[in-house]
A = this chain, B = another copy of it.
Amino acid sequence: MLVQTLIERKRDGGALEAGEWQSLLSRYLRGEVPDYQMSALLMAILWRGLDDGELTALTEAMLESGSRLDWPGFGVPRVDKHSTGGVGDKVSLVLAPLVASCGVAVPMMSGRGLGHTGGTTDKLESIAGFRTDLTLDEVRAQVREIGVAMFGQSDAIAPADARLYALRDVTGTVPSVPLIAASILSKKRAEGLDGLVLDVKTGSGAFMPDLDSAQTLARTMVRLGEAGGCRTTALITAMDRPLGRAIGNSLELEEALQALTGEGPTDLRELTGRLAVEMLLLAKVADTEQEAQLEVARALASGRALDKFRQLIEAQGGNPGVVDDPGSLPQATEVELFEASEDGVIGAVDPRPLGRAVVEMGGGRRQLGDAIDHSVGFVVTARPGMEVSAGQPVASVFARDPAGIEAGMQALRASIRYGPADPPLPLIVGRVTSADLRHR
């Protein structure tokens, strides 16, 4: 097989066969196919797309490039969630223990911060001692014991995806729906799941802002998940403003703790609840939406969800004391209020400048391996549609030095806009299930 011939076929709009994808990726991992051929192929894929058969074959090839979690004799249904990423999106921190406390096993692999969006493993590491670098054996044992594990991406899982992702990142080949779908599904399918809920973000703070792309991505991933034997549902949700109020690692962890007791910002509670209901339905531990809602409400009100989080922290070496004393999380040394600059109505709160500022203030990475400061970030109470008076505090900046405060204030000025604007997106913009695909 000449790689060049495969590139030419894709370039001319043709399709590669399953065996060709398999052989291509294993040769790439062995160093027999150079990066410069792979990047040309990736650009051709971005141009020409992949048909359903190719997409399944590529995903399988990426999946099979590494290990997977298997669950022999473990009768508990396993369900996970994936989000395409946003600003203030701390849903995973609430959802994993919540759903696990409802009798569903959640082996949740998460990423680090990427671009302007935060990462779940970074947020968890706000907790002193918390280990996210679990081995697959540790994950298996912990999920069997307490029903949940939250861990970082392992080299053992889908190494071909990791190599391709790094290459895509520097060759302008990230925004391809099939490549994104294959990357996500190859990793999630390695968890050995019965069900998967996808939270596909849309709006200015999402990686693919336009709704059309979000819908295409949601449909593509549901089709791909189902083709791999994993029940899959996608919600398309709003990322035209931050989710909840807190942005930044330990600030988001604190807000997640509130949500685990049924408190905290309405949008965070509502989205977490909807995703939890979908997960319970896919796990078949609830038969109807109403039943699932009731179960979720009970888990929150009874303290079971919060207890599960405490158990999780303890199992992964963290200090469970943060659950009852969030003040023990890393605290910023500098805090400053941000006031509305005029009387009027807030038109928009753009997530991107805030997400970027967290990185700039030291709360994210510019380069792989950078240490991060978990304490920095924002609490933003300003929401689109809110009436404000000049001088009214609408946000706080948490930083480690005056330069960080300045960067944060500047980001808030760029983010918060006044005056009439398009109405914000509904929190849940759409839902895609396998049934929707059949009806098309």
Task: Tell yes or no: A211 within 8 A of B by CB.
Answer: no
The 6 closest A-B pairs by CB, nearest first: A7-B172, A43-B43, A40-B171, A35-B36, A39-B40, A36-B39
Residue A224 interfacial (CB < 8 Å) = no
Question: Which A382-416 residues have C-beta < 8 A from chain B?
Answer: none
Residues of B close to A171: CB separation below 8 A: 4, 7, 36-37, 40
Q: A143 near B: Cβ within 8 Å?
A: no
Interface residues of A in 168-207 (CB under 8 A from B): 170-173
> 29 A-B residue contacts at CB 8 Å?
A3-B170, A4-B172, A7-B171, A7-B172, A8-B172, A10-B172, A11-B43, A11-B172, A11-B173, A34-B35, A34-B36, A35-B36, A36-B36, A36-B38, A36-B39, A36-B171, A37-B170, A37-B171, A39-B39, A39-B40, A39-B43, A40-B40, A40-B42, A40-B171, A40-B172, A40-B173, A41-B172, A43-B44, A44-B172
Does chain B have a CB within 8 A of A167?
yes
List chain B residues, Cβ under 8 A from A3.
170
Least CB distance from A356 to B in Å reads: 15
A47 to B35, CA, bound (A): 20
> Which chain B residue lies CB-closest to A43?
B43
A281 within 8 A of partner (CB): no
A167 CB to closest chain B CB (Å) equals: 6
Q: Closest approach, in angstroms, between the C-beta of A170 and any C-beta of chain B?
A: 5
A393 and B41 alpha carbons, distance in the complex (Å): 47
Q: Which of A38, A42, A46, A172 has the most CB of B within 10 A?
A: A172
Complex CA–CA separation, A35 to B46 (angstroms): 19
Q: For residue A37, which residues in chain B have a CB less than 8 angstroms away from its CB? A: 39, 170-171
Cα of A37 to Cα of B171 in the assembled complex, Å: 5
Q: Which residues of B contact A10 (CB under 8 A)?
A: 172
Which chain B residues border A40 with CB–CB below 8 Å?
39-40, 42-43, 171-173
Q: Smallest distance from the beta carbon of A42 to chain B beta carbons, Å?
A: 7
Docked Cα-Cα span, A4 to B175, in Å, equals: 13
Q: A36-B39, A43-B43, A47-B47 are in contact. List 5 more A-B contacts (CB 8 A).
A: A4-B172, A8-B172, A40-B40, A40-B43, A40-B171
With contacts A7-B172, A11-B172, A172-B11 known, is A167 near B46, CB below 8 A?
no
